[in-house]
Amino acid sequence: MAAADFKTDDSAQQDRKSLERDLIKSMAGCYTVDFQFAETFAPRGDYAFRERYHESAREYVFVLEETDDMVSLQHLLRVGNPKFDGVPGKTTMIKHWRQDWVFENREFMSYVKDFEWEKLHLPEEVVRGIWTQKVYQVDDAPRYEALGRWVHQQGRHYWDGMTDAPLPRRDRTTRDDYNVLKRDCRVEVFADGSWEIDQDNRKIQRDDAGRDQLICMEKGLETFTPTDFERAPFDRWWKTQDKFWADVRACWAEARDARERLKFALIVDETLMYDAFFALAQRFSVADAYDREAALAGIRGILGRHLVD
């Protein structure tokens, strides 16, 4: 459906929503992903620009869940031999990030800094016709949420959203000169089945009073190019994981619902939170049967250690 086909009545709004749901779902598939980032500007003349960042990966993206007002896309990462032949040890599957798209979402988690989020309750008129992209980390912890409207013009289909986020992993382990990444993102879906995330980022140092100091600006581009590789190994692997991660998502939802502000410590007792979750997932994935009671106890134990009240 072209943008010119849209009408101004309620049926046109429903047609637009259906088109946008289809665009979101079209991001599922097998992809070669290229991640490219380059710092472009800094207000201080003595700032030392970091080297450009470039990585490639193979990802399988699938629709994890959908309703009329929500589409959840789970990303799985493949590490190892690109010519996967089913031989154990040649390829490793890793649960990667997740993105939930919610239509006219009124409960919004706004990033503050230092792994803390504030819950905002948005009025209906603010979110009318708007999709929220909710992005989660590899362990289903919150990362960022952004409000945006899909644009359909001249044969193009893209969504724009700006929001604050924690540091990306490429910087989190090597830098302490900024604590907020202000992301201005455009997600665009193309007719050939590819899609991209075009970013104009600001690296910000935010103090306790909420004052921001710009450290530098950054250009980012993540491209998802359709690639022909076998999906079955991903599906088989995910079947050993899906019940556990469904319970992780449910426990995170409990934690969010119980708080107006959510904060966690990324590292406790020298253990990264996502490492603790991955170790627990591995334990239950090799069991003969899924012990949900034990899994929930383990999940809540990890959250209890890392959540800061």
Closest CA to 159 of 183, 131, 139, 201: 131
CA distance 242 to 248: 10
Q: What is the pLDDT of residues 240-269, one digit of tens each?
A: 999 999 999 999 999 999 999 999 999 999
CA distance 127 to 148: 9
- pLDDT at site 21: 98
pTM (predicted TM-score): 0.93
Query: How open is the CA angle 45-46-50, to the nearest 5 degrees?
Result: 105
Residues of the chain with pLDDT > 70, as a percent, come to: 92
CA distance 254 to 172: 27
Q: What is the pLDDT of residues 16-33, one digit of tens each?
A: 999 999 999 999 999 999
- pLDDT at site 201: 99
Q: What are the structure tokens assigned to 296, written together?
A: 């929930």
- pLDDT at site 288: 87
Residue 60 burial (C-beta neighbours within 10 Å; 0-12, 13-18, 19+): buried
Mean pLDDT calculated for residue range 114-118: 98
- What lies within 8 Å, CB to CB, of 17 at 6+ separation is 103
3-state secondary structure of 50: coil
Bridge partners, 180 (sequence order): 204
Q: What is the dihedral of CA 162, 134, 276, 257, to 10 degrees?
A: 110
**Contacts made by residues 210-219, CB under 8 angstroms, sequence distance 24+:** 212/180, 214/42, 214/43, 215/42, 215/47, 215/177, 215/178, 216/39, 216/40, 216/41, 216/42, 216/47, 216/49, 217/39, 217/40, 217/41, 217/42, 218/37, 218/38, 218/39, 218/40, 219/37, 219/38, 219/40
Closest CA to 138 of 250, 275, 244: 275
Q: What backbone phi and psi angles, to 5 degrees, belong to 89?
A: 95, -15
CA distance 287 to 229: 28
Q: What is the pLDDT of residues 220-237, one digit of tens each?
A: 999 999 999 989 999 999
- pLDDT at site 46: 98
Q: How confident is the model at residue 1 (pLDDT cuts 50, 70, 90)?
A: very low
- b/e string for 180-218 if b means 16 or more Cβ within 10 A? bbbbbbebbbbeeebbbbbbebbbbebeeeeebeebbbb
Question: Domain segments of the chain: what residues?
Answer: 3-230, 240-309
Report the chain's terminal Cα–Cα distance, integer Å.
48
Q: What is the pLDDT of residues 29-57, one digit of tens each?
A: 999 999 999 999 999 999 999 999 999 99
- pLDDT at site 8: 40
Q: What are the structure tokens assigned to 243, written together?
A: 């019940």
- pLDDT at site 4: 38
- pLDDT at site 3: 37
How high does pLDDT run on average in the chain? 93
Contact between residue 117 and residue 308 where contact means Cβ atoms under 8 Å apart: no
Contact between residue 181 and residue 64 where contact means Cβ atoms under 8 Å apart: no
